[in-house]
């Protein structure tokens, strides 16, 4: 797949829409193996906010290279926060397998949770996250308008195995000073 029109995009690959309300509506058994996904260029005019949105069941990203996800606030839509991610999921019960990848994004490289699922049965769970190289490019984003945060965040996530990964070159910011991996467990709030 090649998207090269230079127009800012929300995401490169969507597994699911994020609007599903039951497990039966989710795409299933999706594997991304030896993929090379990257932004259109290093210029902010060609922003690509998210690499792979993993809102499906049994989704795996293995032996892949995802690089240069970046967007400035309000670049994609006027209300957009500009929080870029290489991988994310918020509306899927998993399981997720993320093994032996290079993952780089300006804001949060990898996030599970962050937004409430549309149904309690869609809370992210069962993550295997092993042998990944997760980094920030200090020279590319440090003094730009691009939002820079953490390398790895788990929010509203159940059951995860995180081992043998290398997290590198994250700095300052919110919510963890120094950009250390962040794990926050919180129940979904229903109106």
Tell me the per-residue pLDDT of 114-165, one tens digit each, with 9 for 90 and over: 889 999 999 999 999 999 999 988 777 767 777 778 899 998 889 999 999 9
Instruction: Check whether 57 has a pLDDT greater than 90.
Output: yes
d(CA 160, CA 35): 23
Domain that holds residue 167: 9-16+24-174
Q: Which of 52, 58, 50, 56 is nearest to 75 (CA)?
A: 50
Residues 44-61, mean pLDDT to the nearest whole number: 84
Residue 83 inside a domain? The answer is yes
pLDDT the model gives residue 46: 53
Q: What is the CA radius of gyration of the chain?
A: 15
The residue written with tokens 């300052």 in the block is: 172
Spatial CA neighbour of 190 closest among 89, 116, 115, 113: 116
Residue 65 lies in a domain: yes
Does any domain span residue 181? no
pTM over 0.85: no
Let me know if residue 98 belongs to a domain: yes
Query: Could you tell me the pLDDT band of residue 70, with boundaries at 50, 70 and 90?
Result: confident
Residue 60 lies in a domain: yes
Alpha carbon distance, N-terminus to C-terminus of the chain: 39
Which residue shows structure tokens 């090269």?
4
Assigned domain for 3 exists: no
Structural domain contains residue 189 = no
Number of domains in the chain: 1
Which is more confident, 142 or 36? 36
């Amino acid at each position: 797949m090649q998207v090269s029109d230079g127009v800012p995009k929300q995401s490169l690959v969507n597994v699911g829409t994020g609007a599903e309300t039951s497990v039966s509506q989710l795409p299933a058994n999706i594997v991304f193996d030896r993929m090379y996904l990257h932004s259109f260029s290093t210029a902010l005019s060609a922003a690509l906010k998210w690499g792979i949105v993993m809102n499906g069941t049994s989704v795996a990203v293995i032996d892949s290279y995802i690089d240069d996800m970046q967007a400035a606030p309000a670049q994609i839509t006027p209300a957009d926060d500009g929080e870029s991610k290489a991988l994310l999921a918020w509306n899927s019960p998993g399981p997720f397998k993320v093994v032996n990848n290079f993952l780089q994004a300006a804001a949060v490289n990898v996030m599970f949770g962050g937004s409430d699922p549309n149904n309690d049965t869609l809370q992210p769970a069962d993550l295997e996250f092993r042998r990944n190289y997760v980094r920030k490019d200090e020279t590319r984003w440090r003094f730009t308008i691009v939002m820079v945060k953490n390398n790895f965040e788990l929010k509203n996530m159940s059951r995860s195995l995180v081992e043998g990964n290398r997290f590198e070159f994250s700095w300052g910011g919110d919510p963890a000073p120094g950009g250390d991996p962040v794990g926050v467990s919180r129940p979904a709030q229903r109106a």
